[in-house]
Amino acid sequence: MSLQSWGMYPLVENETLEFQSEAELSKELHDADELIAYGNGRSYGDSALNETLVYTKPYNYFLDFDVAEGLLHIQAGVLLSEILEGVVKHGWFLKVTPGTKLITVGGAIASDIHGKNHHVEGCFSECVEEFTLMLANGTVQTVKKGEELFLATCGGMGLTGVILTAKIRLKKINSQYINQTTIKTKNLKETFAAFEEYSSLPYSVAWIDCLAKDENIGKCLLMVGEFADDGDLRYKPKSKLNIPFNFPSFALNTLSVKAFNWLYYKKSPAGVSHQRVHFDSFFYPLDSIRNWNRIYGKNGFTQYQFILPKESSFDGLQRILDKISKSGKGSFLAVLKLYGKENENYLSFPIEGYSLALDFKIEEGLFELLDALDEIVVECGGRIYLTKDVRMSQETFESGYEKIELFRKFRKENSMSEKFNSLQSKRLGL
C-alpha cells in the first residue's frame, strides 16, 4: 500500500514495511537504504513521507498500567484514542493532548505534541518517563529524561530512530466533562486581554475569524475550561459522521469561508457564557467527522502553524491576519493558543508566546502568500511547526530553530542521517 499524509499533499509512491517484533524491524533496517517511521498518518505535510516507510501503527499492545499511580507502558503504535478508552473509566486522562486523539504515541513523542494547556503542562515529553528506540544499527536503547538522545528524539520527527515503547504519566480526573467558559471578543486587543485574564485556567483555545478586517481583526471566541468534579467517568466514544468523497475544489472559497465564520461567531452570545461540554467536544471537535480532510478537494491542503514570542505576538499577529484577510485565502479553522516556556529539546516547536494555526487548500498563489507570512514570522523571531509544514525553506527553518546545529551534529555522529530521512528532512537539511 502507498501511504499519504493527512494533508493529501504531496502524493508520493512508497514501499511500506511492517514488523511484529524487534528482530523483524532490525532486519528491515539492515536491508533498507533509508526510511522514516509512519504512524496513523495525521502529520499534515511530508515529515513522515519517503520512498520507504516503517508502518508502526500495528505495533500497538498495552504492556502495563499502574492504575494507582497513573503510569502507562505501551507500544508506540497505540493511539491516544485507545488510551482514553482504557483509562478514563479509572479516573485518568492524558496530561498533554493535541487537537486530535487519532495519533500514535510514537508520533506524539516524535512531534513532541502540545495542546490547550501548554502554558501549564508543557509538551508531551513532560509526561514521558522513558521510551525505547531502535537505532540505525538495529540495536534497541532505553532512553530516559535528560539524556541527549531524549532531547534529540522528542520533537526530532523520527530522525533519530524508530520509537518502540514508552512509559507515560497520566493526569487524575473525576469527570468526563469540562466546565467551559466562552468569551466573545471584538478585536485582537480584547482577545489578548481575555487570554491573560483567564490564563490561570488549565485549558484555553481561541477560534479566530481570519477574514475579519480593519477594527475587527482578531475577533474571536475564546474557550477556556477545566475538568468538572461530578464523578461521571462512564466514557463511551460516540459514532462519527463521514465525508465519503473529496469535495469539489470550488466548494471551499472566500464566500463559503466568510459565511461559515459569520455563522460560527454569530451563534455565540455576547460577552461571557458558561456550559458543560464533553471532553471529546472540547479537545477533539474534528475527530467526530471521519475523513474531514476531504473537504479541501483532491489537491489537498496544508496547515500553516507558527508561533511568535510573547513580546512580538500582538504586532506580528495583527500584520499576519491583515495580510490573510486581504488575500481572501481564508481558513474556517484558525486556532490561537497561549504557550508557556520553551523546553530543552532540540527541535520542539513551542516557545513562550502565541501560536496561530490555519488550514489552507492547495491552490494557485497559496505558497507565495505563505512565503510572505514566513517573512513576518522571521522578523518577529518566531518559528513554524515541523509537524504541519510541507513547504517552508531551509533558511526560514534555520532562523527559528537555534539548536539545529546540535541536532545535525548528533545525527551525524550517531550515523542516524544515513538511515532515517523524510522528504522534509532532505528539504530542510535536518
CATH code of the domain covering residue 270: 3.40.462
pLDDT of residue 260: 67
Residue 255 has pLDDT above 90, yes or no: no
Residue recorded with cell 509526561: 127
285 shares its domain with 190: yes
pLDDT of residue 166: 98
Residue 120 has pLDDT above 70, yes or no: yes
138 shares its domain with 187: no
The residue among 410 and 334 whose pLDDT is bigger is 410
What whole-number distance in Å separates Cα of residue 310 and Cα of residue 380?
A: 10
Contact 298, 11 (CB under 8 A): no
CATH code, domain carrying 64: 3.30.465.10
95 shares its domain with 194: no
In 173-252 the beta strands, taken as DSSP E runs, fall at: 177-184, 203-208, 220-227, 241-242
Residue 16 lies in a domain: no
Residue 258 has pLDDT above 90, yes or no: no
Compute CA distances 22 → 19, 116, 141, 163, 165, whole Å. Answer: 8, 35, 12, 11, 11
Residue 1 has pLDDT above 70, yes or no: no
159 shares its domain with 183: no
Q: Torsion angle, CA of 369/374/375/380, rounded to 10 degrees?
A: 140
198 shares its domain with 345: yes
Residue 40 lies in a domain: no
Percent pLDDT > 70 in the chain is 96
Query: Helical H runs in 66-154?
Result: 80-87, 105-111, 118-121, 148-153
C-alpha cell at 203: 485549558
Buried residues in 179-206 as b, exposed as e (16+ CB within 10 A)? bbbbbbbebbebbbebbeebeebebbbb
pLDDT of residue 277: 97
Q: What is the mean pLDDT of the chain?
A: 94
pLDDT digits (tens, 9 = 90+) for 59-110: 999 999 999 999 999 999 999 999 999 999 999 999 999 999 999 999 999 9
83 shares its domain with 228: no
pLDDT of residue 389: 98
pLDDT of residue 257: 67
184 shares its domain with 262: yes
Residue 376's closest CA among 306, 293, 282?
A: 306
Contact 407, 346 (CB under 8 A): yes
Residue 157 lies in a domain: yes
Percent pLDDT > 90 in the chain is 85
Return the minimum-mean-pLDDT range out of 110-119, 121-130, 282-291: 282-291
Residue 244 has pLDDT above 90, yes or no: no
Residue 23 lies in a domain: no
What whole-number distance in Å separates Cα of residue 380 and Cα of residue 308?
A: 6
Residue 358's closest CA among 328, 336, 342, 381?
A: 336
The residue among 290 and 347 whose pLDDT is bigger is 347
Residue 218 lies in a domain: yes
Contact 200, 247 (CB under 8 A): no
Residue 84, domain extent: 55-174+402-428
- Using only C-alpha atoms, the chain has a radius of gyration, in whole angstroms, of 21
170 shares its domain with 181: no
pLDDT of residue 262: 60
C-alpha cell at 81: 484514542
pLDDT digits (tens, 9 = 90+) for 178-221: 999 999 999 999 999 999 999 999 999 999 988 888 899 999 99
259 shares its domain with 287: yes
84 shares its domain with 207: no
Count of the separate structural domains present in the chain = 2
The angle formed by the CA atoms of residues 381, 408 and 342, to the nearest 5 degrees, is 40
pLDDT of residue 253: 72
Residue 6 lies in a domain: no
pLDDT digits (tens, 9 = 90+) for 14-52: 999 999 999 999 999 999 999 999 999 999 999 999 999
C-alpha cell at 32: 533498507
pLDDT of residue 177: 98
pLDDT of residue 377: 98
pLDDT of residue 333: 79
Kindly state the helix (H) or strand (E) to which residue 316 belongs, with its residue range. helix 310-327
237 shares its domain with 149: no
Mapping DSSP to helix (H, G, I), strand (E, B) and coil, where does residue 284 land? coil
386 shares its domain with 255: yes
Residue 273 lies in a domain: yes
Residue 3 lies in a domain: no
Residue 158 has pLDDT above 90, yes or no: yes
C-alpha cell at 272: 461571557
